[in-house]
Amino acid sequence: MRYYKKPKINYIESLPEKNSFVSEGETVLVIYDLLLSEIEEFKAWIEQFEYIYGIMAGEALKSIKSFPEHFSTISNKISNISKKSLKIIAIGGGSVGDFSGFFASVYKRGVPLLHIPTTWLAAIDSAHGGKNALNSTIAKNQIGTFYFPEEIFICKNIISYLPDDQTLSGFGEIVKTAMLSGEPLWSKLPTQSKVSLDKIWSLIPEIVDIKYGIVSKDPFEDTSVRQVLNLGHTIGHILEKRFDLPHGEAVAQGLHFTLDWSIEKKYLVKADYDIMKSYLSSYFPCIKDKISEHMTKEMTLQLLLSDKKLDLNQKLNFVFLKGLGQPYVESVNVVDIISKLYHHSWIS
Ligand SMILES: NC(=O)c1ccc[n+]([C@@H]2O[C@H](COP(=O)([O-])OP(=O)(O)OC[C@H]3O[C@@H](n4cnc5c(N)ncnc54)[C@H](O)[C@@H]3O)[C@@H](O)[C@H]2O)c1
Ligand SMILES: [Zn+2]
């Protein structure tokens, strides 16, 4: 029996006190991004824990090929801890969260999981929603489980160390959420050229609530309700994989294509198109001119065919926009996507 309970979410300035999430008799294994060891606050915090496992963040961590080795090393480390007293806490960005979530869900058929997301993207998106994934040798995110954490700590200080390109990546997901949900979030989006830490921080609870509002109606993707969260992602995933773009920046490019196709299909009126297109372009100029020469029809088809959301008829549910806050899901053939990408000069 699958069971969904919304995780407890804490918005805090500093890393959480150990006794706020470890009770007497419990032992935690902290799986952490090694890069965090350069941060003084983190160094002092991690010292309190006996069981720790540092890993390099990134897509290589999510490779199914390297998982057995990680699994053995971690299992050896924690072999003397009984399953009943063990908790896993993941501290890092989306790759660390995905890896740790998968590990927690399969280790002895599942042990409790907590997340401390350290990138905006993880704080807004990947730590929520209960999905984790490893990458197969062919495509991204093909092996995974639904496994909700019990608790999530979103800590401002630790996220503040993030470099600008990663901040922008998180902002791409924010723009997606605002296009998806419309007002009131849309009118609260920043307008200054550089997105400030405080501004993003102030928007996070509303964005996280919007995500849970959708996830709680369809926690295990049994219906199509959650599909709207994929706005911008069909093309975003292709660009992320092909050009190694940060996830949120790739999604922002996917939003450009979504807007262009939505107006062409007359789902979107010009006034709404202009408002969204001009806001999106001010932070994420469309880069189709730079990428089209490196993307052939054949290559794009291969990338789309490896999309796990594809059905047997080679169709997938594409999220269009009928207005601000009005996503519209429609089944489209991959061949139509290729032809639209070509027609709009995204590929050659
Ligand atoms: N499970 C989901 O629902 C879901 C949703 C969206 C994305 N994802 C996955 O998330 C991953 C992308 O997430 P991400 O962008 O957070 O990636 P990431 O974990 O690779 O982190 C990005 C970079 O930021 C560094 N970093 C992390 N925290 C930092 C900090 N506080 N200060 C400085 N540097 C820091 C990392 O070391 C890494 O170099 C992808 O693998 C994607 O597939 C999963
Ligand atoms: Zn995303």
Residue 49: the pLDDT is 97
Please tell me the residue having the least CA distance from ligand 1 atom 38. Answer: 57
Ligand with minimal distance to 59 CA: 1
pLDDT at 241: 86
Q: For the chain, what are the domain ranges?
A: 8-162, 165-343
- Kindly calculate the radius of gyration of the chain based on its CA atoms and give it in whole angstroms: 20
CA of 246 to the centre of ligand 1 (A): 8
Choosing from 13, 32, 34, 35 the residue with most ligand 1 atoms within 8 A of its CB, the one to mutate for a pocket test is 35
Q: State in Å: Cα 130 to ligand 2 middle.
A: 13
- The overall pTM is greater than 0.85: yes
Q: Give the pLDDT score at 213.
A: 97
Asked whether the beta carbons of 172 and 284 are under 8 A apart, the reply is yes
What does the alpha-carbon distance between residue 39 and residue 59 come to, in Å, rounded to a whole number? 22
Best CA proximity match to 286, nearest among 207, 230, 228, 341: 341
Q: Which strand (E) or helix (H) includes residue 241?
A: helix 233-243
Give per-residue pLDDT as tens, 143-167. 999 999 999 999 999 999 999 888 8
Atom 20, ligand 1: residue with shortest CA distance: 58
- Asked whether the CA dihedral 57, 63, 65, 70 is positive or negative, the reply is positive
Residue 319 · residue 177 · CB < 8 Å:
no
Partner residues linked to 52 by β-bridges: 30
CATH number corresponding to 8-162: 3.40.50.1970
CB 219 within 8 A of CB 237: no
Closest CA to 13 of 153, 209, 203: 153
Longest pairwise C-alpha distance within the chain: 63
* Alpha carbon of 199 to ligand 1 centroid (Å): 20
pLDDT < 50: residue spans in the chain: none
Q: What would the pLDDT profile of 81-101 be if each residue is shown by its tens digit?
A: 999 999 999 999 999 999 999
Strands 327-333 and 51-55: unpaired
Query: How remote is the CA of residue 118 from the centroid of ligand 1, in Å?
Result: 8
- Of 216, 207, 208, the C-alpha closest to 184 is 207
**DSSP type of residue 161:** T
Does the beta carbon of 141 lie inside 6 Å of ligand 1?
yes
The pLDDT value recorded for residue 308 is 65
pLDDT computed for residue 155 by the predictor:
98
- Sequence-distant (6+) residues with CB within 8 A of 213 are none
pLDDT of residue 1: 64
Which burial class, exposed, middle or buried, applies to 49 when counting CB atoms under 10 A from its CB (0-12, 13-18, 19+)? middle
Instruction: Return the CATH architecture of domain 165-343.
Output: Up-down Bundle (1.20)
CA of 273 relative to ligand 2 center, distance in Å: 22
Ligand 1 and 121: CB distance under 6 A? yes
